[in-house]
């Protein structure tokens, strides 16, 4: 740990400021855009999620389709390995299994990540418009049409953000590792004893930040997405205390909801198990748990995680409204990791 310490007197309207051993010079607000929604509560997020439900359903459909395809892929891999091992040679069976599962799995994973990324970018474009103006475009354009148009018009930026995702996460990890402690941010007694667990939770929370940065880029506009990404990261660091404190409880609630969802889905999963062939039903409970877990993972990714992404987006936009860039943070991130400089290249 470094001697990095944070204070933030944040408030609505961007009244907060972040310090690193004192106040650094400010460069003035680097953006100017309207903001209609400032409440980052779950009720507001749920309302926006329901307004953009087609995107959540599209994501769920893609996840279910890929899950079914991966199941077939696994059956082909194992079946082919058994056949080759029995009729040709065991070494061919092992090679087939490793090739299909490793190489094929990597290709499927890459395709799935990029497909979900493109859907998420369209979703973020629509959500950003609703957060800023309360409507989509001129009010006559559909969600998918608007999202498709924004993604296609700014496809280079979306592709850049996808490619720079590793750099963004590297900067965030370096920043979090430099914090003195997270325990002092939370009011509950005894929290310092589980700082390691909190760090794990906060690490999971950072998966939302690349989409939050995209939302900032779309709201700010301009033709320099790399500069927008850098400024978005600086704004995040300036407001790390309120954002991360909120993120801790968001991730905890997300985990609780995910567990409850998995338990609830045991009932429909059991019904599905009854319909399966006798050879599969012999494994009864294991098959039911597997189906319930698979459904829970897809529902969580399609509905629960976007809900908390919306909370994070609103929180971020409300905190940085009219807030100037603190050049001390720019210099700090420049010196903290060369990944921050690479983003701007």
Q: Are 41 and 217 in contact (CB under 8 A)?
A: no
Instruction: Answer whether residue 43 shows pLDDT above 70.
Output: yes
Residue 125 confidence (pLDDT): 93
User: To which residue do tokens 């990095």 refer?
Assistant: 4
Instruction: Answer whether residue 341 shows pLDDT above 80.
Output: yes
Residue 23 confidence (pLDDT): 46
Residue 98 confidence (pLDDT): 82
Radius of gyration of the chain from its Cα atoms, rounded to whole angstroms = 23
Instruction: Answer whether residue 306 shows pLDDT above 90.
Output: yes
Q: How far is CA 284 from the centre of its chain?
A: 34
Instruction: Answer whether residue 117 shows pLDDT above 80.
Output: yes
Instruction: Answer whether residue 10 shows pLDDT above 70.
Output: no
Instruction: Answer whether residue 15 shows pLDDT above 50.
Output: no
User: What gap in Å lies between CA 283 and CA 290, rounded to an integer?
Assistant: 11
Instruction: Answer whether residue 286 shows pLDDT above 60.
Output: yes
Instruction: Answer whether residue 32 shows pLDDT above 70.
Output: yes
Stretch among 34-48, 89-103, 111-125 having the lowest mean pLDDT: 89-103
CA-angle at 41, arms to 40 and 42, nearest 5°: 125
- Other CB atoms within a 10 A radius of the CB of residue 49 amount to 21
Average pLDDT over residues 142-171: 80
Average pLDDT over residues 339-344: 87
User: What gap in Å lies between CA 4 and CA 277, rounded to an integer?
Assistant: 60
Instruction: Answer whether residue 331 shows pLDDT above 80.
Output: yes
User: What gap in Å lies between CA 270 and CA 210, rounded to an integer?
Assistant: 37
Average pLDDT over residues 75-85: 81
Average pLDDT over residues 15-33: 51
Residue 299 confidence (pLDDT): 93
Q: What are phi and psi of 4, to 5 degrees?
A: -70, 130
Express each pLDDT in 204-256 by its tens digit.
667 788 889 889 989 998 878 888 889 999 999 899 888 888 887 888 888 89
Instruction: Answer whether residue 132 shows pLDDT above 90.
Output: yes
Stretch among 137-141, 142-146, 158-162, 234-238 having the lowest mean pLDDT: 158-162
How is residue 5 written in tokens?
Answer: 């310490």
Q: Are 249 and 196 in contact (CB under 8 A)?
A: no
Domain spans of the chain, in order of start: 42-343
Q: Are 164 and 252 in contact (CB under 8 A)?
A: no
Stretch among 76-90, 107-121, 174-188, 328-342 having the lowest mean pLDDT: 174-188
User: What gap in Å lies between CA 135 and CA 141, rounded to an integer?
Assistant: 10
Express each pLDDT in 91-111 by its tens digit.
888 888 888 778 777 777 788
Most trustworthy range by pLDDT among 39-53, 86-100, 161-175, 285-299: 39-53
Q: Which helix (H) or strand (E) holds 56?
A: helix 53-87
Q: By three-state DSSP, how is residue 277 classified?
A: coil
Residue 17 confidence (pLDDT): 33
Residue 103: which residues within 8 A CB-CB, separation 6 or more?
A: none
Instruction: Answer whether residue 189 shows pLDDT above 60.
Output: no
């Amino acid at each position: 740990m470094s001697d990095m310490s944070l204070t933030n007197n944040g408030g609505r309207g961007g009244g907060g400021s972040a310090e690193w051993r004192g106040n650094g010079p400010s460069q003035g607000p680097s953006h100017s855009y309207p903001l209609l929604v400032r409440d980052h509560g779950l009720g507001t997020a749920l309302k926006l999620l329901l307004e953009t439900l087609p995107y959540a359903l599209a994501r769920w459909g893609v996840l279910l389709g890929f899950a079914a395809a991966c199941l077939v892929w696994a059956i082909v891999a194992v079946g082919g390995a058994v056949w080759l091992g029995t009729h040709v040679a065991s070494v061919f069976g092992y090679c087939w299994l490793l090739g299909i599962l490793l190489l094929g799995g990597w290709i499927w994973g890459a395709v799935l990540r990029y497909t979900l990324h493109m859907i998420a970018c369209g979703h973020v474009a629509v959500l950003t418009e609703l957060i800023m103006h309360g409507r989509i475009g001129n009010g006559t354009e559909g969600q998918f049409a608007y999202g498709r148009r924004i993604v296609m018009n700014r496809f280079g930026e979306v592709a850049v953000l996808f490619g720079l995702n590793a750099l963004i996460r590297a900067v965030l990890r370096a920043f979090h590792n430099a914090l003195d402690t997270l325990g002092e941010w939370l009011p509950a007694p005894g929290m310092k004893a589980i700082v390691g667990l909190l760090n794990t939770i906060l690490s999971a929370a950072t998966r939302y930040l690349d989409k939050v940065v995209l939302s900032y880029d779309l709201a700010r506009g301009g033709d320099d997405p790399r500069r927008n990404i850098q400024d978005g990261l600086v704004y995040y660091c300036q407001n790390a205390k309120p954002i991360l404190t909120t993120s801790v409880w968001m991730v905890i609630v997300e985990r609780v909801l995910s567990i409850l969802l998995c338990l609830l889905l045991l009932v429909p999963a059991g019904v599905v198990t009854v319909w399966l062939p006798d050879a599969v039903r012999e494994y009864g409970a294991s098959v039911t748990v597997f189906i319930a877990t698979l459904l829970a993972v897809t529902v969580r990714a399609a509905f629960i995680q976007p809900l908390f992404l919306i909370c994070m987006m609103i929180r971020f936009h409300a905190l940085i409204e009219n807030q100037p860039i603190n050049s001390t943070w720019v210099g700090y991130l420049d010196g903290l990791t060369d990944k921050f400089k690479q983003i701007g290249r």
